[in-house]
Amino acid sequence: MAKEVERKFLVKDAAWRDAVEDSIAIVQFYLAISSERSIRLRISNGKSAKLTLKFGSDLNQRDEFEYPVPLADAHEMLGFAIGTVIRKTRHHVRHENYLYEVDVFNGELDGLVVAELETMDKVADALLPPWLGEEVTGELRYSNASLALNGFPERVLR
């Protein structure tokens, strides 16, 4: 089991694209979602699948367990998906020796671009890349489970 400390940001421009190290096409769907746990299946590049169990209500630090799943089983379980099947391309982008995962959503979530940083501790704001926009860590509407259930998040005027 691994604990993760996760920060999530909207992405304000495309300056990150020059630093992409790798890209993965992801099809992701949920089999169960509640306020304190979720069961997710993710198919990566159409070649491998992984089942992820997440426990805890704190969106930036939860217990997580992952297991490989035969690809044929993952495709069959797609029929049991709750809500929208999420389709996105995940880009790995390194800045100041930290690896960011920049998710560019398509399909029903087209136009949404979110960056995540998972570390063992919180990274100082001064070390964050300039292409990051508003921090949305802990905002439920930007969690993948909420995106699957509720679609594109409504913008809240501040």
| Angle formed at CA 126 by CA 143 and CA 141, multiple of 5 degrees | 10
DSSP annotation of 93 reads: E
CA distance 47 to 66: 17
Based on the residue annotation, tell me whether 30 is a catalytic residue of this protein. Answer: yes
User: Considering 30, 67, 100, 142, which one is annotated as catalytic?
Assistant: 30
Please identify every residue annotated as catalytic: 30
